[in-house]
Amino acid sequence: MHEWVLKVPRAKAKTTIWFCQSPLFATHLPELIATHQGPCAIITDATLKKLYAKQLQGLDAKVFSIPSGETAKTRETKAYLEDLLLSHHLGRDTLLIGLGGGVICDIVGFVAATYCRGVSLVLIPTTLLAMVDAAIGGKTGVNTPYGKNTIGSFYFPDQVLIDPSFLQTLPKQELRNGLVEVIKYSLIASKPLFVQLQKHINGFASLDVAWIKHLIQKSIRIKGKDIREDPFEQKGRRRILNYGHTIGHALEKLEEYRMPHGQAVAIGMMAAAFMSCEMGFLRFEQLEEIQALFQQYDIPLKLKKTHPIDAFLTGFALDKKAVKGSVRFVLLKEIGAAHPFEGEYCTEVPFPILEKALAWMNR
């Protein structure tokens, strides 16, 4: 197993991220359970519980599950899980193990943060999106009718176990969702990664383990660096991870969460790249290069139905980068670098440019 430690001194947190080289269910997980001094509870979702039923059976841990999908990521589900754990008399010495995609990582993280005022947490991400994003960086939370992740906390897992073999059962659409986030890391922080993504299309299509592992490690290093600098999203640096998400989140909400996160963010990233061009930072050829990369990976950039500009503006209201009600965007200086804007890493965009970008996106 390869090990990488993410130390976040200001958050008084240390997460050890492991890349499993041998089967997780046969070695690492039983070892983890055996070495923990107290009871272990694995929380997963219905799909994974079924897919990995055999592997889960042999473990010395209680296994609980919630329905699959984003609609289960609610306060009600959190309360259900808490009551379930309490009814099994699980105390402060419990180790909670979240096994699943972003939904599981977010909600189990949030349960761990408040259960008995905080218990040990290990995350085992099973989607590419969760491996490169949700499991890393200590963000936890649930959705409410007012928006996604509107209630939550920062709570860092003690360990994250990454086993790329989970991706073999993951539907292609879900895989593409994760890839969008990898493309995001390349756009904001690594031109070499962007070039590699352009060259190795086949590595992704064939799920080449070495290549996928490289993508995951590279993404985690980029995210880890920003988290170390700005663990609680206060200074600015962590904001760059939000690239494409201002418009992406608004779009997801307008589409009533039926559009996959990856697709919404891909469209949001294109619109933000367009604004970066209009503001005079990014060159037009680079915008075309970004678009071509999404197309190479079959990531759809077209909206099936258009949304009025006003609807987007309302959608921006809850964006965390907004100051005094005015929305701000992360923009690109070039492929591989977000514009620093004097350490703010985001900026207001003149209304005519925003309007033009939304119209361009709706085209």
Which residues bind to ligand ADP, rule: CB under 6 A? 45, 47-48, 51, 68-70, 100-104, 126-127, 129-130, 134, 166, 169-170, 174, 177
Q: Tell me if residue 356 is catalytic.
A: no
Question: Alpha helices, DSSP H only, in 133-244?
Answer: 172-189, 191-199, 201-205, 209-229
CA distance 216 to 204: 12
Q: Which is nearer to ligand ADP, 175 or 358 (CB)?
A: 175
CA separation for the pair 130, 55 (Å, rounded): 21
Task: Confirm whether 233 is a catalytic residue.
Answer: yes
Q: Which two tokens stand for residue 191?
A: 């031109």
Q: Which residues of 255-266 are buried (b: 16+ CB within 10 A; e: fewer)?
A: beeebbbbbbbb
Question: From CA 267, how far away is CA 285, in angstroms rounded?
Answer: 18
Catalytic residue among 36, 238, 239, 253: 238
Per DSSP, the three-state class of 154 is strand
Pick the catalytic residue from 28, 49, 73, 139.
139
Q: Which is nearer to ligand ADP, 126 or 242 (CB)?
A: 126
Q: What would the two tokens of residue 86 be?
A: 């309490």
Active-site pick, 174, 181, 252, 278 = 181
Active-site entry in 117, 172, 258, 302 = 117
Query: With 0-12 CB in 10 A as exposed, 13-18 as middle and 19+ as buried, what is 219?
Result: buried
Active site residue 348: no
Strand partners, 121: 96
Tell the smallest beta-carbon distance from residue 138 to ligand ADP (Å).
16
Smallest gap from Cβ 101 to ligand ADP, in A, equals 2
Our answer to whether residue 249 is catalytic in this structure is: yes
Q: Does residue 117 carry a catalytic annotation?
A: yes
CB of 310 to ligand ADP, least distance (A): 29
Give the nearer residue to ligand ADP in terms of CB position, either 73 or 237.
Answer: 73
For this structure, is 82 an active site residue? no
Residue 238 annotated in active site: yes
By beta-carbon proximity to ligand ADP, the closer residue of 101 and 157 is 101
Where in the sequence numbering do the catalytic residues fall?
Answer: 117, 139, 181, 223, 233, 238, 242, 245, 249, 261
